[in-house]
Amino acid sequence: MRIATWNVNSVGARLPRLVSWLRSAAPDVLCLQELKCAAENFPTDEIAELGYEVAAHGTGRWNGVAIVSRVGLSDVTRGLRDEPGYAADDGTDETVEPRAIGATCGDLRLWSVYVPNGRDVEHPHFAYKLRWLDALHATAAAELTTSVPFGVLGDFNIAPADHDVWDLAEFAQTTHITESERKALGVLQDAGLRDIVPRPLKYDQPFTYWDYRGLAFPKNKGMRIDLAYGNAQLASAVTDAYVDREERKGKGASDHAPVVVDLSL
């Protein structure tokens, strides 16, 4: 079985590439983030033509997550337990954003997550990010009571270790590498999850995100922030994994590359 995660940075803008990639990579389950569309506007018909069922969670032009599966899709859960909301900078009321969706796909229970960015360590969005990660931990801990292979995949907006950023000095005093964010990942690990993407991969630094600006991708100035965490049953089934850097190339690419994990179940 093949599972994958990909921040597509707008499913509408990326639809031709998404359809092409589903055909070529042929994942059984794909977790998507940053749809930037309402659930009812997700291109379900185009994806269904390839044999996939779709569960989407989105409300508009920001955020949004989905799971597409060709091995079954049931027990869909939209949102985390006690998920916090965020009051936008324009003073609008606090809202719970569409950042997490879970589903049972064949023999797997998977979540697709889009962790808040945090923006700046002094910004209210950073405190929101940490609260959101607490809710993710509570949700995962509750589901880890089952014995089925379980995973949380997505854009975590956290680089787990120093070698997961191209130049640590460039990120000093910024989000994505702070002790508090990495501690939140540690809490997930304490609950029974582990990084299921083995190292090393094909590249010494298997980054998953490169900024559009400053020729970051050609210069490989990237970060590894798209992650796959799983319980012992899922981790023990991993046979291979790779970051599909080819999908980051060319016109119209997302600023993230898909992360693919092969399993023997």
Half-sphere exposure of 235 (CA within 13 A, CB side): 14
- Residue 155 known to bind ligand: yes
Amino acid at 125: H
- Burial pattern 30-52, b for ≥16 Cβ within 10 A else e, equals bbbbbbbbebeebbbebbeeeeb
For residue 201, the model assigns a pLDDT of 56
For residue 200, the model assigns a pLDDT of 53
CA pair distance 49, 46, nearest whole angstrom:
5
List C-alpha distances in Å: 147 to 165, 175, 233: 34, 34, 8
Domain that holds residue 205: 2-263
> Total structural domains in the chain?
1
Kindly state the tokens that stand for 150. 């379980």
For residue 202, the model assigns a pLDDT of 54
* Whole-prediction pTM: 0.95
CB within 8 Å of 66: residues ≥ 6 apart: 11, 31, 32, 35, 42, 54, 55, 56, 57, 58, 101, 112
Q: Are strands 238-243 and 259-263 parallel, antiparallel or unpaired?
A: antiparallel
- Residue 34 known to bind ligand: yes
**Residues carrying an active site annotation:** 114, 155, 256
46 phi/psi in degrees, rounded to 5:
-65, -40
Give me the CATH number covering residue 20. Answer: 3.60.10.10
CA pair distance 195, 185, nearest whole angstrom:
10
- Residue 255 known to bind ligand: yes
- Residue 256 known to bind ligand: yes
- Per-residue pLDDT tens digits of the chain, which is 265 residues long: 999 999 999 999 999 999 999 999 999 999 999 999 999 999 999 999 999 999 999 998 889 999 999 999 999 999 999 999 998 766 667 889 999 999 999 999 999 999 999 999 999 999 999 999 999 999 999 999 878 999 999 999 999 999 999 999 988 878 999 999 999 999 999 999 999 986 655 555 689 999 999 999 999 999 999 999 999 999 999 999 999 999 999 999 999 999 999 999 8
CA pair distance 77, 55, nearest whole angstrom:
9
